Amino acid sequence: MSSNWEAFAAAEPALAKTVEDRFGAFTHHVLATLRKDGSPRTTGLEVRFLAGELWLGMMPNSLKALDLRRDPRFALQANPGPGTEMGGGDVRVSGRAVEVHDPEVIARYVGDDGPQEPFHLFRAELTEVVRTSVDGDQLAIQTWQPGRRLRTVHRQ
């Protein structure tokens, strides 16, 4: 089961805002994809939240785009920022990337400020959103999956 960003934000608005804020705090994040042989590949990526979707844009024929065309599963981790503070916690999103070819959708994504040269555009279908943060003297791990309630686990 998967969900788009809009459905996640409707189900868990506070967590969705925290996640968007974490991704918005820095430009570059880390994307994990699967290589042809099944081993992981991590690369930098910029993300965008627009029209109820989480978008992943990539250069033409980049290895990460080719990975996602072959196997759409991904994990995306927000840049933790400098130092050890990690304000807002550690945020990760997992799911499947669906490549978008519709010229009208691409034009809306590009708008006036987006890339004009060719690029790959993927829409994220979420399978899991995780936020790990410090709550007092405990580690708090929030996990959301489509069709399930938000689960929070505290660890010492």
The tens digit of pLDDT for each residue in 27-51 reads 999 999 999 999 999 999 999 999 9
pLDDT for 87: 65
Query: What confidence category does residue 109 fall into, taking pLDDT thresholds of 50, 70 and 90?
Result: confident
CATH of the domain at 105: 2.30.110.10
Strands (E), 1-62: 29-34, 40-45, 47-50, 53-58
Q: Residue 101: what pLDDT?
A: 93
Number of domains in the chain: 1
Domain carrying residue 32 = 5-155
Answer whether 68's CB lies under 8 Å from 97's CB. Answer: yes
Amino acid (one-letter) located at 80 = P
Phi, psi of 108 (to 5 degrees): -65, -40
Whether 85 shows a pLDDT value over 80: the answer reads no
What is the rounded average pLDDT for all residues in the chain? 91
Give CA–CA dist 70/107, Å, rounded. 25
